[in-house]
Amino acid sequence: MSAMNTTLRETNSRIDLLSASLLSRLRRDRSIGRMVLILLVAIAAFSVLSPSVFLTGLNLQNMLLGVAEIGILSIAMMISMVTGGIDLSLVAIANLCAITVSTLYTSSVLGGAGAEQWSPVIILIGLVVGLACGLVNGVLIAYVGVTPILATLGTMQIFNGLAVVWTGGKTLYGSPEALTAFGKTAVAGVPLLFIVFGLVALLVGFILNRSPLGLSLSLEGSNGTAAKFSGIRSTRILMSSYLLTGLLGSLTGIVFIARNPTASADYGASYVLLVIVIAVLGGTNPNGGFATVGGVFLAALTLQVVQSGFTSMRLSAFQYSIAQGVILIGVLVLDCIDWKDVRSRLSIAVRRTDSVAAHDSGSTERK
């Protein structure tokens, strides 16, 4: 009897896996189509409202540069959310990485000593800092059992505090020259940092959609019980998730310092809420179980276009915040509407109208 129950549970788990895969595909297509439409509308609107500024080559290049750091952070946030969690410490991790790189570079150069040859090692150490931060988050969430939002809120405070103590609350200046040159380089008008963002999106998309790890992440977020009976170790999956978000957070720190050779503890203070908005806007389920990298990629582009458009029209950051909220609420409302039910009700209403019209017409003819 026990063996039969176990077999039944395993069968149900496989059904859940297949259902989750099919549902994810349908949702992914809808999210991407929706974001393409919103992006095109935003581009068209600002092209008409502010063509002399918005459509310039410099502005378009700045948009692509600006979206790189926001986009990578949004993908990291998406990964944590797909398991049903969240990572509020991402920006703090990025700043801690940037501070590490700047400190190591300036301390080793000492007025001109050859630190450039150590640049790859310095950058690697910066990435390891992100992995270490992700490890702390993963242990707290996967093994200790702390709720993700509380665990990462606490580590955000710790990482921010470490950064402030480290820098004395001041801005650090200096980064590897090769990294600065990389941040300023463009290929056919496309910044290399944007290309890095695109490659990260492709890699994470492959992991989520084509690898066992991606399926395990989605199942863990949508149905932890089914994941357990499918042989998935929740602790290992959650640990992998936060290690990956930590790595992407530190990669964002590298992008920070590549764009501008400075580092501080308070850079990007408003990014935490922004990347949550982008992740949800791109189709990520806040409750876990589903995410689409393509949707998040397009959502990051869309909000960057809106921000650039508002700047070109000399509108304030507060108005941009309102626009973010309106777009997010609008998309969520559309998601909540059962369009099949709406079409069914409209069809019934039309048939009733036709029936009444036919009845009235017949009554008139008899008279």
How many CB atoms neighbour CB 131 within 10 A?
19
**Alpha carbons 272 and 244: distance in angstroms, whole number:** 17
Q: Model pTM greater than 0.75?
A: yes
Which phi and psi (to 5°) does residue 240 adopt? -60, -40
The per-residue pLDDT for range 67-104, each reduced to its tens digit, is 999 999 999 999 999 999 999 999 999 999 999 999 98
Q: Which of 32, 97, 78 is closest to 207 using CA atoms? A: 78
Question: Does 222 score more than 70 pLDDT?
Answer: yes
More confident residue, 137 or 324: 137
pLDDT of residue 341: 56
The per-residue pLDDT for range 274-313, each reduced to its tens digit, is 999 999 999 898 888 888 899 999 999 999 999 999 888 8
Decide if 92 contacts 163 (C-beta within 8 A). yes
The confidence band for 7, taking pLDDT boundaries of 50, 70 and 90, is: very low
**DSSP string covering 99-138:** HHHHHHHHHHHTTT---GGGHHHHHHHHHHHHHHHHHHHH
